[in-house]
Amino acid sequence: MSNRRKFLKSTVFGGLAVSTASVSSFACAPKSPVKKPVVVSTWNHGMEANAEAWKVLEKGGRAVDAVEKGVMVTEADPNNTTVGIGGFPDRDGKVTLDACIMDEYENCGSVAFLQDIKHPISVARKVMDDTPHVMLVGEGAKKFALDSGFQEENLLTEKSEKAWKNWLKNQDYKPKINVENHDTIGMVALDENGNLSGACTTSGAAWKMHGRVGDSPIIGAGLYVDNEIGAATATGLGEFVIKICGAHMIVELMRQGLTPMEACQAAVERIIKKYPNNYKELQVGFLALSKTGEYGAYGIHKGFNYAVKANDQDELIDAGSYTG
């Protein structure tokens, strides 16, 4: 390890205990930089999403187009109960969606608390491309989507409605780790031209209060891209990602010399340090990609995984975790 890296660890982290031994022992970070292009995304559903993103990347397309197309696969899957159509509703039986996107110029667009539109990521893209704003929410976001040509549709599937009616019997709000907060697809990519972009989309925590917005549409929390340094995204219980500005923190730590894996671990350990009475009951996972194509991920609990696609690589990898 360089003297610079040692210095950063002792000064940046202080009591966070990111030891050299713990960060070097995970198998999930590649030994040498992955060749461009590369796309990484959260959870098992990332495999299918990456395959779609790859169609853009392999032709030399822009990372921002790849991540939009990639996460649209997950949004369109009615059997996925945490993203897009089929997402579990809130307590009032309403499916409300959050999404954001960020490109290599650090342009960004976001929608939150959007109802009845299947592809919130594409509405977020339009906010980025066609408006002077970054974020539209609720009725305003829906009106913008309809005015832009998106179709209104019912996103509450029979399966999700049944699950909601079942939940109503006890109305116990305690998200199950890696199940009801196995929520988001976050995807970050590096294209052939060496440019980074990211996208993040979710139906949020199941049985949330009506009006609740998580980290996924918040630039700097659920997603952040700095084309000089790297990109990061988050999954899990959004309240705790927002509280530490997770994705932005990770990119800033990468700027200071940490690897994607080390930076994700530091962000998880920040949550643990600040919320020692909460972390055992919740899952948060971070995934990051550097400008050189190095990637890494880390979660509070075991069970968080991520999908990687690059030339000669297409796999699902278990992230390192704090609780073992």
| Spatial contact of 294 and 288, defined as CB atoms under 8 Å apart | no
> Residues 166-194, buried b or exposed e (16+ Cβ, 10 A)?
ebeeeeeeebebbebbbbbbbbbbbbeee
Binding span for ligand GLY by CB under 6 A among 59-67, 236-244, 296-304, 312-320: 236-244
Encoding tokens for residue 32? 């040498």
Query: What does the alpha-carbon distance between residue 181 and residue 191 come to, in Å, rounded to a whole number?
Result: 30
Query: What 3-state class would DSSP assign to 186?
Result: strand
DSSP 29-53: S-SSPPPSPEEEEESTTHHHHHHHH
Binding status of residue 122 toward ligand GLY by CB under 6 A: no
Binding span for ligand GLY by CB under 6 A among 136-144, 150-158, 197-205, 292-300: 197-205
Near ligand GLY by CB under 6 A: residue from 205, 266, 268, 271: 205
- Active-site positions read 184
Q: At what angle do helices 120-130 and 138-147 cross, to 10 degrees?
A: 80
| Spatial contact of 216 and 222, defined as CB atoms under 8 Å apart | yes
Query: What does the alpha-carbon distance between residue 194 and residue 248 come to, in Å, rounded to a whole number?
Result: 20
Near ligand GLY by CB under 6 A: residue from 220, 236, 285, 320: 236
CB of 224 to ligand GLY, least distance (A): 14
* Residue nearest ligand GLY, Cβ-based: 214
Alpha-carbon separation of residue 138 from 112, 212, 249 (angstroms)? 6, 11, 28
Residue among 214 and 293 whose Cβ is closer to ligand GLY: 214
Residue carrying the six token digits 């995204």: 233
Residue among 56 and 234 whose Cβ is closer to ligand GLY: 234
CB of 177 to ligand GLY, least distance (A): 13
Site for ligand GLY (CB under 6 A): how many residues? 12
Binding status of residue 285 toward ligand GLY by CB under 6 A: no
Near ligand GLY by CB under 6 A: residue from 61, 109, 120, 204: 204
Binding status of residue 198 toward ligand GLY by CB under 6 A: no
Binding status of residue 300 toward ligand GLY by CB under 6 A: no
Binding status of residue 183 toward ligand GLY by CB under 6 A: yes
Near ligand GLY by CB under 6 A: residue from 41, 96, 184, 290: 184
Query: What does the alpha-carbon distance between residue 57 and residue 117 come to, in Å, rounded to a whole number?
Result: 26
Binding span for ligand GLY by CB under 6 A among 30-38, 70-78, 125-133, 208-216: 208-216
Residue carrying the six token digits 């084309």: 227
Near ligand GLY by CB under 6 A: residue from 97, 219, 237, 247: 237
Binding site for ligand GLY (CB under 6 A): 183-184, 202, 204-205, 214-216, 235-238
